[in-house]
Amino acid sequence: MKIAIDAMGGDFAPRSIVEGAILAAREHGVPVVLVGEEKTIRQEAAMVSGSDSLPLTFVHASEAVGMDESPLTAIRKKKDSSIKVAFDLLKKGEVSAVVSAGNSGAVLATAVFVLEKLTGVDRPAIGTIFPTLKGSTLLLDAGANVDCKPFHLVQFALMGDAYAKYILKKEKPIVGLLSNGEEESKGNELIRETNAILKRSSIGYVGPVEGRDIFNGRADVVICDGFVGNAALKICEGLAEAIGAMI
Amino acid sequence: MKIAIDAMGGDFAPRSIVEGAILAAREHGVPVVLVGEEKTIRQEAAMVSGSDSLPLTFVHASEAVGMDESPLTAIRKKKDSSIKVAFDLLKKGEVSAVVSAGNSGAVLATAVFVLEKLTGVDRPAIGTIFPTLKGSTLLLDAGANVDCKPFHLVQFALMGDAYAKYILKKEKPIVGLLSNGEEESKGNELIRETNAILKRSSIGYVGPVEGRDIFNGRADVVICDGFVGNAALKICEGLAEAIGAMI
């Protein structure tokens, strides 16, 4: 299974990305395709000793999308960006997955543009795995869709269920809907309507869960809209940093 | 300044509440009015040695609101609840504040019912103070209003500004609006509309802030709707518990 890596995306690209790709190839034996400004990334790779014996290949892309660039502008104007070239490789079946630490909006938009969506999926979601006391919890959407309708959240629940089953290998995943209390009377309008639909679904839906349940293993998958999910993620980063600074 | 304490509210009421009230009276010399089933709370107080020499008084209330009771049912049916009696004391000017660890919905609804709202305030908000690396950040709404319109958030911003000024003694409080990025193009519909209004306000509005900014002192006051605020609060509790269990 070959993996394409966007060598130009991320705050410390390309150096840290190339170094990380080499570590992955060395430790896991994964064939890695580094996509980006070929001369630069070959030079970066050459600086890491022993990299020439690893299953690394290089594919040239003449452009890179900046962290603050608009996703739509990137798609329209940078037709040879490392993100676009990486997804083209996936589309052609030359790689099995794309990894990018770059502009997440551009990655998402390019993925939809190049690969299109599965039937029944109106919007892609960003899934984030939180480490917990009992293993891991998948939270989605972590930021792709800030304004959602109930049917979007229902689709996220189905996608999260499938991800937990086939990627996290949980036989019968427990799916929860993030709310401000476990009672069905709680939640905002979006959550109450989504709950009413999910209750009738065939997935292992446990009902509304609370923010603290992300960490205690009560659910394998926690569903929320991208605004709340992004806030959740960044609040955790902020709190963990603050605790780290205090202890 | 006398403080009324709802002795019947909270998971470990009345014992822990009475003990806490006695500690407050002893350590800070605050005159405390304990409101609840008088015989029971007098007995609890008598069990703490030295409590008879403290500025403690007792006011009888024949009923208590349970943690899972509907706020509206509590208001309608329990006209002699400890929460109601405590707010009546405040209304009559016999105390300066009410403290309750009980059913927050019932406390909020009773406060509105007995005291009414200030002109210009459509809905009360729950304010929560987060300890940060640089002092403290006030977050509101932490759970009173799960569905908000922009003008509600604008009112919360004005209330938060006043609280930070007069209670937290910050001369020129910096107010931020919780979003999924600092750029004005980010945020959901509610946040983008609220931001447009707050930009024209006279408070020290810094613009959209991210979840991590709650902890780094970037803003003195962070505004969000009650659904997001409640999730934020409980995610922090969950993460802090998980980190505590790991280290």
Say if A212 is an interface residue toward chain B (CB within 8 Å).
yes
How many Å apart are CA B111 and CA B114, to the nearest integer? 5
Tokens of A40: 């630069």
The answer to whether B143 contacts A227, with C-beta atoms less than 8 Å apart, is no
The full set of domains in chain A, from first to last, is: 3-115 (3.40.718.10), 127-246 (3.40.718.10)
Residue A11 has pLDDT above 90, yes or no: no
What pLDDT does B83 receive? Answer: 97
- The beta-strand segments (E) located in A88-223 are 97-99, 127-132, 135-140, 175-178, 205-209, 221-223
How many Å apart are CA A175 and CA A134, to the nearest integer? 15
Q: How is chain B classified by DSSP, letter by letter?
A: --EEEETT-STTTTHHHHHHHHHHHHHH---EEEEE-HHHHHHHHHTSTTGGGSSEEEEE-SB---TTS-HHHHHHH-TTBHHHHHHHHHHTTS-SEEE--S-HHHHHHHHHHHH---TT-SS---EEEEEETTEEEEEE-SSS-SS--HHHHHHHHHHHHHHHHHTS--SS--EEEE-SSSSTT-S-HHHHHHHHHHTTSSS-EEEEE-GGGGTTTS-SEEE--HHHHHHHHHHHHHHHHHHHHH-
The alpha carbons of chain A give a radius of gyration, in whole angstroms, of 20
How many Å apart are CA B197 and CA B203, to the nearest integer? 11
What pLDDT does B159 receive? Answer: 97
The answer to whether A239 contacts B236, with C-beta atoms less than 8 Å apart, is yes
The per-residue pLDDT of chain B, averaged, comes to: 94
The answer to whether A231 contacts B187, with C-beta atoms less than 8 Å apart, is no
Say if B239 is an interface residue toward chain A (CB within 8 Å).
yes
Nearest-CA distance B236 → chain A (Å): 7
Say if A180 is an interface residue toward chain B (CB within 8 Å).
yes
Nearest-CA distance A26 → chain B (Å): 30
The answer to whether A214 contacts B237, with C-beta atoms less than 8 Å apart, is no
Average pLDDT of span A54-62: 96
Q: Which residues of A touch B147 (CB under 8 A)?
A: 188-189
Q: Which residue has the tokens 């014996």?
A: A53
Mutation for testing the A interface, residue in B133, B180, B223 having most A CBs under 10 Å: B180
Residue B110 has pLDDT above 90, yes or no: yes
Mutation for testing the B interface, residue in A180, A186, A213, A236 having most B CBs under 10 Å: A180
The per-residue pLDDT of chain A, averaged, comes to: 94
Distances (CA, A) of B121 to B88, B118, B165, B197: 21, 6, 18, 16
For A109-156, the pLDDT digits (tens) are 999 999 999 999 999 999 999 988 888 999 999 999 999 999 999 999
What pLDDT does A23 receive? Answer: 94
The answer to whether A237 contacts B213, with C-beta atoms less than 8 Å apart, is no
Helix (H, G, I), strand (E, B) or coil at A172: coil
Q: Which residue has the tokens 């910096």?
A: B174
Residue A196 has pLDDT above 90, yes or no: yes
What pLDDT does B247 receive? Answer: 77
Mutation for testing the B interface, residue in A132, A188, A213, A243 having most B CBs under 10 Å: A188
Write the ipTM.
0.85
How many Å apart are CA A72 and CA B9, to the nearest integer? 53
Confidence of residue B243 (pLDDT cuts 50, 70, 90): confident
How many Å apart are CA B223 and CA B207, to the nearest integer? 10
For B55-78, the pLDDT digits (tens) are 999 999 999 999 888 889 999 999
DSSP 8-state class, residue A199: T
Q: Which residues of A touch B228 (CB under 8 A)?
A: 227-228, 231
For B160-202, the pLDDT digits (tens) are 999 999 999 999 999 999 999 888 888 999 999 999 999 999 9
CA A138 to chain centre: 10
Helix (H, G, I), strand (E, B) or coil at A57: strand
How many Å apart are CA A160 and CA B51, to the nearest integer? 56
